[in-house]
Structure 1
């Protein structure tokens, strides 16, 4: 049974074996933490961007990439780099929010792929970036017409009622895994 913990700690300084990043199918990363991963894990970004360009990355999927180890340079001494990065494809565009169906499919795909990593690669600790999955109130404070269109076509998922229960439902049954969900300080633990 997996243990899931919410934390306010910075995700990029956490010592985990698997880093789960919610991404889109265009290869554009607007979230500041996701943008920082482009330079921290360039091999993952190249793999992710290539999959976006050739159209092999679909919403509702998860692409796990094994990180290459550096043999020279400043990154050699860093012990907190993950062995794997999971690109959780939750949206078709950086400005579009995740939909319940896409998030459910992506989490199911992640769970299926994690079983092999837990069983055969010894993965025991993972971290998930939650900020791209959170509800943004500023997007609704537009004009009334924009808000009505927003409500009917692209309503962001509610963290407490939809997103967190989906994450728990799909990842709770994984054996011997600790999952830290990194949320902004605006979310109460």
Structure 2
């Protein structure tokens, strides 16, 4: 348990040790903790960038079949555009978190610290929304390429009855929903926990401002 959490736990105890803490004593603790949280968010985002780079290049060395499929898809401007956009967004996201950490590290004003926390929360929120949106777009695009690049799949779809097509559509929607749910859960666990802690700091800072 860190110093700030210990202080909050014992705040209402009738002891001189905790009665002597003033706003000027609490602020540095909130500042230090907020800076540490944003730094962790930055490191997590860098790790995520490294993970996606690894996942994109791994098929080229693991499987010749996957390598051939990726090479075929790379000729499509849609696939290339989505790939470039994804990396650009992640890089911008990493930069914004680095910038947020620097801003928090140098500020000595409670109001500015609160503004930095709010900006960080917005950056994370928009990043998660973007990732869910891009996943929603990528799944039908991937299905389109799979059908186009594999004539046998196209033939099976043409030969399928209306009932089978409806069933396959429901399966595709179910898989998409499951995939999006897993992505949301990942960001909820990784970024959500840290943002929740940052929110607690924000609420403590609001009390200091009153």
Alignment TM-score > 0.5, same fold: no
Larger radius of gyration: 2
Higher relative contact order (Cα pairs below 8 Å, separated by 6+ residues): 1
TM-score range, shorter chain: under 0.3
Q: Structure 2-normalised TM-score? A: 0.25
Q: Structure 1-normalised TM-score? A: 0.27
Greater fraction helix: 2
